[in-house]
Structure formats: C-alpha cells, structure tokens
Structure 1
Amino acid sequence: MKNKRTSKFCQSCGMPMKKDPQQGGFNKNGTKSADYCSYCYVDGEFTFKGTTKEMQAFCKQKMIEQGSPKFLAWLFTRSIPRLSRWRMKPR
C-alpha cells in the first residue's frame, strides 16, 4: 500500500491540520484532501475567493476573534504567501 503524503498545515490558510475537526477538506469525488483544511476546501472548491493579502487579513482577524494576541496572529499569517495554493497566484 502506498503511503500518501499529508501536509502538516493547510496549504491555503496555514492552520495546523490536526486542529481541523474533519482532518482535511474533501475533493469533488469525495476523497479527503491531504493539503487543504475543511474550512478552505469543500467539494473540490476553495471557499475563499480573495487574494493572498485578503486571506492573510481574514485569517489574522479570525485568530484575534478566537483570542490570539494581535502579534501572534500577525506572525502566524506571515507565511501564507509561501503556501502552495498562493505561490502561483497573483498577490
């Protein structure tokens, strides 16, 4: 049996995959996505349609709303442009 690679972090928002209640989003054919969380990826489609900078601002705000200090929210969202979803997209 082939061992499928699983990302430690969602390659769209950067959230640790172990924090995702569904342990990953779902592809159009119903299989589990190894790269994207269930908040970012549903039925083979990205739920967030904005730019990289908009995703950073969205995630930073969500982290602050959930009680993270502003500095930590800023620090953790800095890596979003380096995630695979955003590397080839306009920023």
Structure 2
Amino acid sequence: MENTHFCQSCGMPLTTEDAKGTENNGQKTNDYCKYCYEDSNFKNPDMNLEEMKNTVKMHMEKKNLPIYMVQKALNILPALKRWKNKQFVI
C-alpha cells in the first residue's frame, strides 16, 4: 500500500498527480497542492495560519463534511511543514 502525501500547507490529500503543485521547472511536488503552490511559490505567500484555518474550514463545510472531520483537519494544520516553524514567531 502506497503512502498518501498531504499538502504541507492546507492538508489536502495529494492522491493524484493533477492535485499536486509544481516547481519552477514544471515538475510536480509531493509537498504541496496546486491550490497552494505553483512554480515553486505559494499562491498566497502572506497567508497566515489563522487565514488557512478559515479557508480549510470554509471549503470543507461547503462539501458538507462532518464536523469531526473539519476539526481534525484544522488540528493538524499547525504541524504541517509550512506552519510548523512559523507558529512561534512573534
């Protein structure tokens, strides 16, 4: 069984090549999704963790996902690569 990669910005499962973001050479990355990352750059570079939480919550609620799934997704965001080192910056 193959390991599923998750976007290290929003937590979205990267289950298909189409879902993956790109590096500046056009190569797909296993670290970020196409909604967060393109051409080796974040699409919203100034976004903070709270804004990402709000975005993730909104998209998951639009899909009518159960609240426990939404909460689980929000709880993992601070541990993702993009946010891990930024949560202690003042």
Which category describes the TM-score, using the shorter chain as reference length? 0.7 to 0.9
Q: Distance in 1 between matches of 2:53 and 2:4?
A: 19
- Normalised by the length of structure 2, the TM-score is 0.80
Residue identity over aligned pairs, in percent, reads 35
Pairwise CA RMSD: 2.0
Q: Distance in 1 between matches of 2:26 and 2:86?
A: 26
- Normalised by the length of structure 1, the TM-score is 0.79
- 5 Å-filtered alignment, 1:1-91, equals 8-18=5-15, 22-48=18-44, 49-90=46-87
Aligned length, in residue pairs? 85
Q: Return closer, same or farther for 1:7/1:89 CA change in 2, 3 Å cut-off.
A: farther
Structure 2 stretches lacking a partner, 5+ long: none
